[in-house]
Amino acid sequence: MMRAVRAHAIAVLLLFLNAFIWGGTFVVVRDGIASVSPELFMLLRFTLASLLMAPFALASRRLDRRAIRSGAILGLFLFLGFWLQTRGLLSTSPLRSAFLTALSVVFVPLLDMLFRGAKIGLEAGFACLLALGGTLVLVGGFEAKFTLGDLLTVLCSLAFAVYLVLASERSRASAPTALTFVQLVVVALLSAPLAASVATGPIDRAAVVAILITALLATSAAFFILMWAQAHASALEVAIILSLEPVAAALVSYVTGDEPITAHAIIGGTMIVGATILSQIEPTTRDSGDAV
């Protein structure tokens, strides 16, 4: 029992770390695709990440049929999420992209209810609404013109939500290294034909730096952490904690001078932080049921 509690606490801390890693790379990716196509960027990023993860996956000796089958399914939705997000960054800002990606926190419990009949506690349900409200405040209530990049990013958040729900089940039955490796290979393979068919510019220094940072930290390390943490935390917990990405993106944007910190960013960021804390409170038990 104590071991399970400790594993859950470590999973939560690592998920917070992931949120800040991913949130901090929106500006990096935007700079990386300034010269090369999003598809070529993804191909190079996930190919390098696959090579980095390969020795660990082979050493685990858990690269079995189950891991390959689950990794292939997860890899498909991972590809869709990243392709939509990276392509969307061509016509929306890194900060706005981060905020819209966080909408996956709303899609996850809905998908859980629709496909698995999961019940949502009062605290978790309110945390979802708080996270959604915080996201809307962060983007200024959608007062600005809704672009194609915004639409692609909303679709990306739906793909990531499906990914998180599926991963919460499949990550428990396979070794994290093997499952992560298969997913990265699948994304690289799916990116290859698109990269070959889309015009691209030269691979400059900014693209190289972005590929190295995202492949090592935001892909190999981050997805290994995610696969391990998914086995010790619920899909809803994961989604709400990862909604901290916009806060990290806002901080990076402010430090780099990319975008200013506004009242919307402060209020919305506070709401999202509150949602992540609320999601960690033990569900309220009621005689009539605790679902909302």
Tell me, letter by letter, the H, E, C secondary structure of the chain.
CHHHHHHHHHHHHHHHHHHHHHHHCHHHHHHHCCCCCHHHHHHHHHHHHHHHHHHHHHHHCCCCHHHHHHHHHHHHHHHHHHHHHHHHCCCCCHHHHHHHHCCHHHHHHHHHHHHHCCCCCHHHHHHHHHHHHHHHHHCCCCCCCCCHHHHHHHHHHHHHHHHHHHHHHHCCCCCHHHHHHHHHHHHHHHHHHHHHHCCCCCCCHHHHHHHHHHHHHHHHHHHHHHHHHHCCCCHHHHHHHHCCHHHHHHHHHHHCCCCCCCHHHHHHHHHHHHHHHHCCCCCCCCCCCCCC
162 assigned to some structural domain? yes
Task: Please tell me the pTM assigned to this model.
Answer: 0.82
Domain of residue 237: give its range. Answer: 2-278
Q: pLDDT per position in the chain (292 positions), as tens? A: 677 788 889 999 999 999 999 988 998 999 999 999 999 999 999 999 999 999 999 888 889 999 999 999 999 999 999 999 999 999 988 888 888 888 887 788 778 778 777 677 777 778 878 887 887 787 665 555 678 998 999 999 999 999 988 888 888 778 889 999 999 999 999 999 999 999 888 899 999 999 999 999 999 999 999 889 888 888 778 877 887 887 888 888 878 777 777 787 788 878 877 887 776 565 554 444 443 3
Is residue 287 in a domain? no
If one counts the domains in the chain, the total is 1
Domain assignment of residue 143, yes or no:
yes
Q: Decide if 285 is inside a domain.
A: no
Q: Residue 248: inside a domain, yes or no?
A: yes
Question: Do the domain assignments include residue 283?
Answer: no
